[in-house]
Amino acid sequence: MELQFLTEYFQREGSQILVVYGSKGVGKTALLQEFCRDKKHSYYLARACSEREQRFQWGAELRAGGRELNRYPEYVELFENAAARKETEKQVIVIDEFHHMVKGDGAFFDTLLRYVEGRLLSRPVLVALVTSASGWVENTMVGKIGRSAAAIHGWLKVREMPLSELAALFPGYSREDCICNYAVLGGIPGYWMNFSQECNAEKNIIRNVLCQESRLYEEMSLYLLEELREPAVYYSILAAMARDCNKLNDIYKHTGFSRAKISVYLKNLMELDLVEKVSSYETGSRAETQKGIYRISNFYVKFYFRYLFPGMSSLRQLTPAAFYEQRIAPSFALYVEEAYRKICREQVGRSCHNAGEWLGKSGAIDVIAANAEGGLTVAACSYAKQMTGEDYEWLLFCMQKAKVKSDDIRMYCEKGFDESLQRIAAQGKVKLLTVPLDEGR
């Protein structure tokens, strides 16, 4: 679908500008590489540096490829030289992490527009502006570039892969390993590539996350240091959130930072797609609904700050295997619960619309969505323990609080269902399910 989106724009007459964005490691660069494989193209990875240094770095790369440019070329020169001058067929210019250029220089985008508009009829180009700053694209970019945003022809968000697709890409994992891997790495295939299908989830965590020589060990620290100023503040906020401080006031009490400061830093974390503000599914019971909930949206960041960050002293003294046994294993099944609920929402979302969750003051509905019959589908989910008739009664209680009625009630569980719940299911009141992955899981 994503390749088709890019191809359709490439086949249009004239020149276009596309914005392609998504989390780091989600596969944006691989997508563009595949798209450009049979096309004349140029690629530049923007740095977090001054505008002058940016132009110097890009010019140096083009000079190394045989172009003749000044030492500090203007952007219009860079655009002209990024495309092969003697070519008349349409070409592609990919500018990766372009947000560094827009944030650092307001003239970049205006110059790009003038360049593209001047090539509408001859030597057309497709300019793909790529970035990992998803939240910045969705919340800040238009305000930064103003009316120029109207000149962007298309927007493509490369989303995390659902578990069902990842399971198909990595067939060597068992069903349980797929779920556990997802809880640690999320739907980012770039992270999954660091795991080995010859190992189960426990061994992969020990070898490829806890081992100091592994790539993932320092991945998030390096990423935050690269993207954010004052990492100490961000680390403190993320550590608090990993300990289930999900409201502004809870983070304030734990960190001691002012609420105003926390709000600014949360906004920056949301721009990096590391944190999300959770909106409860709208029902007829606003008085019972929680508001102002924040959550770490990147599962690897959550895992890192739940286990590695608070356990650094132990990790330096223990072997990775001993650290896993003492610090992770006792609570890991409960940790997987939140990821399992997301997996269930993805599954329900395949046949329903706007799958979400209801967050009540005295309970929650793990999954709620509008179904094709015009009603609501609701579900409760459990990874860590067997579900019982009491869990069904609790779901009914939460539905009452949310003022929700449903003829499609589901319960997803990996540890099975007790006899009382099976009797209720036999009466047609509830469906007992596991999350389907590919065949044989």
* pLDDT tens digits, one per residue of 329-378: 999 999 999 999 999 999 999 999 999 999 999 999 999 999 999 999 99
- Provide mean pLDDT across the span 271-299: 91
Whole-number pLDDT of residue 69: 87
Whole-number pLDDT of residue 281: 95
Nearest to 365 by CA among 379, 348, 351, 386: 379
Whole-number pLDDT of residue 441: 46
Q: Which two tokens stand for residue 297?
A: 């949206």
pTM value is 0.85
The 3-class secondary structure across the chain, one letter per residue, is CHHHHHHHHHCCCCCEEEEEECCCCCCHHHHHHHHHCCCCEEEEECCCCCHHHHHHHHHHHHHHCCCCCCCCCCHHHHHHHHCCCCCCCCEEEEEECCHHHHHHCCHHHHHHHHHHHCCCCCCCEEEEEEECCHHHHHHCHHHHHHHHHHHCCEEEECCCCCHHHHHHHCCCCCHHHHHHHHHHHCCCHHHHCCCCCCCCHHHHHHHHHHCCCCCCCCHHHHHHHHHCCCHHHHHHHHHHHHCCCCEHHHHHHHHCCCHHHHHHHHHHHHHCCCEEEECCCCCCCHHHECCCEEEECCHHHHHHHHHHCCCHHHHHHCCHHHHHHHHHHHHHHHHHHHHHHHHHHHHHHCCCEEEEEEEECCCEEEEEEECCCCCEEEEEEECCCCECHHHHHHHHHHHHHHCCCCCEEEEEECCCECHHHHHHHHCCCCEEECCCCCCCC
Whole-number pLDDT of residue 86: 66
User: Using N-to-C axis directions, what is the helix angle for 231-242 and 248-255, rounded to 10°?
Assistant: 120
Whole-number pLDDT of residue 231: 86
Burial level of 50, CB count in 10 A (0-12/13-18/19+)? exposed
The whole-chain average pLDDT of the chain stands at: 91
Confidence of residue 97 (pLDDT cuts 50, 70, 90): very high
Domain ranges of the chain: 2-157, 164-335, 345-433
Give per-residue pLDDT as tens, 131-190: 988 888 988 888 888 888 899 999 999 999 999 999 999 999 999 999 999 999 999 999
Using the predicted structure, report yes or no on whether residue 440 has a pLDDT greater than 50: no
Instruction: Tell me how long the chain is.
Output: 441
Whole-number pLDDT of residue 104: 66
Whole-number pLDDT of residue 228: 74
Whole-number pLDDT of residue 208: 95
- Rounded-to-integer distance, Cα 296 and Cα 277, Å: 9
Confidence of residue 122 (pLDDT cuts 50, 70, 90): low
Whole-number pLDDT of residue 85: 66
Task: Let me know: does 381 contact 421? Beta carbons within 8 Å.
Answer: no
Could you give the percent of the chain with pLDDT greater than 90?
A: 71
Fold of 2-157: Rossmann fold (3.40.50)
Give per-residue pLDDT as tens, 383-413: 999 999 999 999 999 999 999 999 999 999 9
- Rounded-to-integer distance, Cα 4 and Cα 1, Å: 5
Least confident segment among 47-56, 105-114, 144-153, 324-333: 105-114
Nearest to 78 by CA among 49, 37, 46, 103: 46
Fold of 164-335: Arc Repressor Mutant, subunit A (1.10.10)
Using the predicted structure, report yes or no on whether residue 439 has a pLDDT greater than 60: no
Give per-residue pLDDT as tens, 206-248: 999 999 888 888 777 677 776 677 889 999 999 999 999 999 9
Whole-number pLDDT of residue 402: 96
Instruction: Compute the C-alpha angle 332/337/339, nearest 5°.
Output: 105
End-to-end, the C-alpha distance of the chain in Å comes to 26
Whole-number pLDDT of residue 339: 96
- Rounded-to-integer distance, Cα 306 and Cα 328, Å: 9
Specify the CATH number of the domain 345-433: 3.40.1350.10
- Provide mean pLDDT across the span 97-123: 79
Higher pLDDT, 102 or 200: 200
Least confident segment among 28-32, 99-103, 258-262: 99-103
CA 209 to the chain's CA centroid: 19
Higher pLDDT, 17 or 122: 17
Whole-number pLDDT of residue 119: 61
Least confident segment among 81-85, 183-187, 292-296: 81-85
- Provide mean pLDDT across the span 268-297: 90
Q: Do domains 2-157 and 345-433 have the same CATH topology?
A: no
